[in-house]
Structure 1
Amino acid sequence: MKRNLLVVTVMGLLLVGCDQKASTEVVQPEQAESTIVAAIQDQAEVIADAHNARNALDWNGTYNGILPCADCSGIETQLMLRQDGSYMLTETYQGKEGGDVERSGQLEWNAAGNTVTLLNDNGSSIQYFVGERRLFRLDREGKRITGDLAENYILQKQ
């Protein structure tokens, strides 16, 4: 008898537990939008505070190197990055007369804070990945140059 009473009690508790309806909360569109906006702002602050080349490295200064050249012995390159977001680039094509090119303009950082794009007045641009006391020249697609000559596409900070 006690055993039957115990079985009936357990069955009753199971039925009561299964009968509960899930509580649903109705969220107004305005509430949802403000919640999403707040979450995005929080995430943006985390990204802005993240350590990257732009905020963790001493990136401004003068970088030098000799980059490969298809029709000369090399391109002697001097690039000055300034804290105000401007740059000055001097390229000397070795073994060519009148091979000096000077450019200046503004630089832009990518969203990750690790790559600068040198913007030119003529609409073209050059990208460099910013490392510790080094700049790595990137190809036209913004990727690191690989292969046997990869080490020749690095400018060293002076």
Structure 2
Amino acid sequence: MKKLVLLLVVVCLFLSCNSKKEQETVQNPSDVLDNESTEDVLGQVMVYEGLLPCADCEGIETVLKIYQGDGTIESHTFELTTVYKGKQPEKKFIVEGSYNLERGLEKDQDGTIYVLNYDKPEANQIFYGYSSTNPDHLFLLNNKRQKIKSKLNYFLTLNE
């Protein structure tokens, strides 16, 4: 009986030594991110940039980053950065959240609409869309998911 208990203690010590060794080799999560590109971690990234009109400033410098993740709706995230140019001090805003895709932009059934903050109340949602014939131009849409009718530039350009 003593031999069995001794054997059990030795096995437990051996297993605990192995688990410590494994814990020592685990990398810090920030080291992992440094070693892998952001694109690998978050999936494909599309970056749209442009200068949108502003009523009381020189323009709104806008950068929209769309992260497609692993393709599931839960992994669709975005980062929208806006800087109000010509204001002292220049104001910078960053909005991060989830997005959803909708098919059809006005008369273009193959167009795509990004609904930013789709999981928030409609007042907090932001709509951008592109037509199937020109996916490099992402238009800011009104709350009815339509292009803003104006001679001013309300689109962002895909940065490749």
Report the alpha carbon displacement of residue 141 of structure 1 after superposing the two structures with TM.
Answer: 1.6
- Aligned length in residues: 98
Return closer, same or farther for 1:140/1:73 CA change in 2, 3 Å cut-off.
same
Instruction: Kindly provide the amino acid, as one letter, of the partner of residue 155 in structure 2.
Output: I
Poorly superposed stretches of 4+, deviation over 4 Å: none
Higher relative strand content = 2
Report the alpha carbon displacement of residue 100 of structure 1 after superposing the two structures with TM.
Answer: 0.2
TM norm structure 1 = 0.56
Distance 1:105 1:60 in 2: 14
Distance 2:98 2:145 in 1: 18
Instruction: Kindly provide the amino acid, as one letter, of the partner of residue 86 in structure 2.
Output: G
Instruction: Kindly provide the amino acid, as one letter, of the partner of residue 100 in structure 1.
Output: K
Decide whether the 8 Å contact of 1:103 with 1:120 is kept in 2: no
Summarize the alignment of residues 1-158 of structure 1 with structure 2, pairs less than 5 Å apart.
Answer: 60-84=45-69, 85-96=76-87, 97-112=89-104, 114-119=112-117, 123=121, 124-131=124-131, 132-149=135-152, 152-158=153-159
- Looking at CA atoms only, which structure, 1 or 2, has the larger radius of gyration? 1
Instruction: Kindly provide the amino acid, as one letter, of the partner of residue 142 in structure 2.
Output: D
Aligned-residue identity in percent? 34
Report the secondary structure of 1:147's partner residue: coil
Q: What is the root-mean-square deviation of aligned Cα atoms in Å?
A: 2.2
Report the alpha carbon displacement of residue 110 of structure 1 after superposing the two structures with TM.
Answer: 1.6
